[in-house]
Structures are given as C-alpha cells and as structure tokens.
Structure 1
Amino acid sequence: MSDEVALPLQFTEAAANKVKSLIADEDNPNLKLRVYITGGGCSGFQYGFTFDDQVNDGDMTIEKQGVGLVVDPMSLQYLVGGAVDYTEGLEGSRFVVTNPNAKSTCGCGSSFSI
C-alpha cells in the first residue's frame, strides 16, 4: 500500500521542470503556475495559464520538484482526473491540459466542451 494521496489533477515532470526554469528566469521563487478555465474559444471553454504569487482561499496547490501548480475551485471541477503537461513539438512549445471530462476539443487543444 502506498502513502501517496491520489490528486484530482496531475502535474507532470515536464511541466514542473519548465515552471522551475521560468521561475528561475523571473527571479521570484514565490511564483506558481496557475491554470484556470474561462468561457470562450471555439468549443465553449478555454484553458488559461499564468504565473501568480498569490494563493487564494479555496485554491488547490499541487507541489512537484519544489514548484507549485495552483487551481481555483471553479476550474478544478472541470479538470478532475486530468493532467497539466508541457510539450515541445513542430507546433511550438506550450503547457497543455489532458482533460478526460472534455467531450470535444478544438484542433489547437486550448478549447473544449463539456
């Protein structure tokens, strides 16, 4: 049996490594990657990413490799079971969300519907 608690949202090694690198560039160790969901995009909802040094009441913080991922409660309900990753490919480099709750996604992967 493992002592690890199952998290509602995964934060991959690749994403944590990139966040660590970007925070080092900003020279502000209090920064965390905030993932959030807003209305919009071609499928109804879209993912957003920003760096934030504030954690609000109700926010969930996931730590990996000494860096944090922060999600507000409203966004978390749409992201449960998903993962935040960082990919590098022909389309460029970016943070991406794998979301099992999305019924459909747009071609670029930044917009989805429930």
Structure 2
Amino acid sequence: MTIKKNLFLICTIAAQKQIKKLINLKKKKKIKLRIYITGGGCSGFQYGFKLDHKKNKDDIIIKNYNNLIIIDSISFQYLLGGTLDFIENLEGTKFIINNPNAKTTCGCGLSFSI
C-alpha cells in the first residue's frame, strides 16, 4: 500500500463533497472510495466506483483533502493526470473521470479507449 499526495488524480469540490457524504451515510470512517478500470463498455474500458474498506497489497491510496481514494496499481496507470468529478443532471447522478489518457470516450462518459 502506497499513499500518494493528490498530484495524480485531481478531485473537484463536487466529488470531494459526494465522497464525504457517502462515507458519512455508511457511518464507517474506514470506508474509502475505490476507483477501478475493467474491460468492457462501449469503448473498451470502463470506470468503476465503489465504497470499500479492504486495501490490497498493490493498492495505491491517494489523499484528497480529508478523503482517501483507493486505486489498484493496474488502474492507476490509466488514471494519471485525470480529474474525478461528480455531476447531477437529467441522466442522473454519477462520478465521472475526465481522463487525458483516453483517445476516445463513449457518449455517457463511463467508458474509454487508449
């Protein structure tokens, strides 16, 4: 487990507030937001988000103000330089990643290719 300062994945204020809100709803301070990438989606890779209390050996922990974000080492390389945001619109509420490493993205913003 490595803890990195917030130079690798920027969090908007909206994302920070939503992470804190979700953790407070669970009433478990040891829970963190896990961001991961899996194969699939319209464009080849898709983003995943879940609350997790488990830290794996190869996980990287990013500190964003008072929030900690967990990213596995494979996903981390695809997220470098990205921005985590949280939006609420007619499509619903969701975390999104603005990823400078993505060559193409799908219309909903949940999948990408490199």
Question: 5+ residue gaps in structure 1?
Answer: none
Q: Equivalent residues in 2 for 1:93-112 (5 A)?
A: 93-112=93-112
Tell which structure's C-alpha radius of gyration is larger: 1
Corresponding residue for 2:37? 37
| Number of positions where the alignment pairs a residue of Structure 1 with one of Structure 2 | 110
**SS of 1:7's equivalent?**
coil
Distance 2:6 2:53 in 1: 25
Deviations 1:16-49 (A, max 9, x none): 1101111111111111000000000111100000
Q: Given the two structures, how large is their TM-score scaled by the length of structure 1?
A: 0.89
**Structure 2 equivalent of residue 8 of structure 1:** 8
The structure richer in strand per residue is 2
Q: 50-59 or 35-44: which moved more?
A: 50-59
Displacement of 1:91: 1.5
Give 3-state SS (helix, strand or coil) of 2:58's partner. coil
Matches within 5 A, 1:1-114: 7-114=7-114
* Identity across the alignment (%): 51
TM-score, normalised via structure 2 length: 0.89
Mapped to 1, the partners of 2:79 and 2:64 lie a distance apart of 18
Is the 1:33–1:70 Cα contact (8 Å) retained in structure 2? yes
Q: Higher mean Cα deviation, 66-75 or 55-64?
A: 55-64
Please list every run of at least 4 consecutive aligned residues from structure 1 whose deviation after the TM superposition is greater than 6 angstroms: none
Q: Do the aligned residues in 2 keep the contact of 1:84 with 1:95 (CA within 8 Å)?
A: yes
Q: Would the aligned equivalents of 2:85 and 2:97 in 1 still touch at CA under 8 Å?
A: yes
Deviation at 1:67, TM superposition (A): 1.7
Unaligned runs of 5+ in 2: none
Q: CA shift at 1:6, angstroms?
A: 6.2
